[in-house]
Amino acid sequence: MVLNWIWIAFFAIAFLMAAGRTIFYGDLAVWSDIMNSSFSQAAFAFEISLGLTGVLTLWLGIMKIGERGGVIEFFGRLISPFFSRLFPGIPKGHPAMGAIFMNISANMLGLDNAATPMGLRAMQEMQSLNAKKDTATDAMIMFLVLNSSGLCLIPISIMMYRAQGGASNPTDIFLPILIATAIATLVGLIALCVKQRIRMDRVIWSWLAGIGVVVGLVVWFFSNLPAGKVETYSTFSANVILFSVIIAFICAGVRKKINVYDTFIEGAKEGFKTAVMIIPYLVAILVAIGMFRASGALNVFTSWVETGVGALGFDTRWVGALPTMLMKPLSGSGSCAMMLDVMKENGADAFVSRVAAAVRGSTDTTFYILAVYFGSVGVMKTRYAAGYALLADLTGAVAAVVVAYFFFG
């Protein structure tokens, strides 16, 4: 229901904004801009789905091998003490547990291309347990909020963008992003535990402490590397882990004496079907966002915030990163473009550029995740998923600004 009203609001605000610009400023071109944006965004949605087709085909084929080889079941048993408490609606040992683990692990390593197919697989497994096929379950909502909070140990792409932008130390944003995304994940997790009446017992806190130790070790390792080596080692580590997963799945399939090739083809066919299924959901979200952005509403809101912050006597240097912050839950490519624009205008080493980079890496693209993941299994009633995902987004953005002031202010 929340997503429904947000979607309507995008169109309503865009229309009112365009009408205001025409009536008060005589701007007739805004209507063309909005409609052109709707057409281009619809085409862009298809391009995204087309681009996902190959990735989904590959990774759902690999996941099918892992499932038949018993690897997914193994991972499910491994994290069962923790996940059985966070996802009480999923039976112990169910394939959904292993798929959720694989998805979250890929996200933590910054492996977006692998994380999405694994996440879609997890949604399919959870949908098999869903009595009301058009309505999101508590487990689905928990899973999507954890994805939206976007806990990432190695923000490879952002460090690469900073390097291309001429930053003197492209990796100096590594720790602020890690701290901000960890805070967003923790707040989203605790808020949902309260909402879903999940008791935060000793087991949950022990696992969270263990994850904290892993994060601390990653921070220690990379903070002791020479500045020029962080990007190299992070990329190397991620790719080695990813290829090792593929080899492990194939070896497990051979050990189980299954036909690995035929199993891959079977899973790959599911990937193609999934890519086609998500097209309407992507079109709906991206067209609404594109028309909202083309109306100029985003720029107006940013100027209002800057005026208000200045009137209250607070530092306004971070406000230049606000478009990145507002675009982040709406569009990954849009927020990336906003971040790059800030870097271009101010220089990659400027404070506002570092804030924009921290915000860009603090959480994931909420509405894209909601559209793709719910769309892949035909869920129409998302319940409170959007609200809690946006809470994690807001927390991550605020944390990114605060942490940026601590490190660079």
Model pLDDT for residues 352-404, shown as the tens digit of each residue: 999 999 998 888 888 888 888 998 898 988 899 989 999 999 999 999 999 88
- Are the CB atoms for 188 and 395 separated by under 8 Å? yes
Domain residue spans of the chain: 2-408
- Amino acid, single-letter form, for residue 44: F
Cα(1)–Cα(16) distance, rounded to whole angstroms?
23
Q: Locate 69 and state its tokens.
A: 């080889």
Q: Which residues of 101-137 are buried (b: 16+ CB within 10 A; e: fewer)?
A: bbbbbbbbbbbbebbbbbbbbbbbbbbeebeeeeebb
Mean pLDDT across 164-188: 84
User: pLDDT value at position 142?
Assistant: 94
List, for residues 117-175, the tens digit of each pLDDT value: 888 889 999 999 999 999 999 999 999 999 888 777 767 778 777 877 888 878 778 78
Highest mean pLDDT among 66-70, 192-196, 269-273: 192-196
Short-list 190, 110, 154, 113, CA closest to 392: 190
Q: Mean pLDDT in the chain?
A: 85
- Give the bridge partners for 381, in sequence order: 135
Q: Is the pLDDT of residue 334 over 80?
A: no
> What letter does residue 168 receive in the DSSP assignment?
S
Looking at the chain, the whole-number percentage of residues with pLDDT higher than 70 is 95
Mean pLDDT across 330-343: 76
Cβ contacts of residue 220 below 8 Å, gap of 6+?
A: none
Q: Is the pLDDT of residue 227 over 70?
A: no
pLDDT higher at 330 or 109: 330
Mean pLDDT across 244-272: 88
Residue listed under structure tokens 């947000």: 6
User: pLDDT value at position 45?
Assistant: 80
pTM listed for this prediction? 0.76
* Helical (H) or strand (E) element with 303: helix 297-311
Cα(245)–Cα(247) distance, rounded to whole angstroms?
5
Residue listed under structure tokens 């130790």: 213
Short-list 261, 246, 273, CA closest to 57: 273
User: pLDDT value at position 189?
Assistant: 92
Q: Is the pLDDT of residue 207 over 60?
A: yes
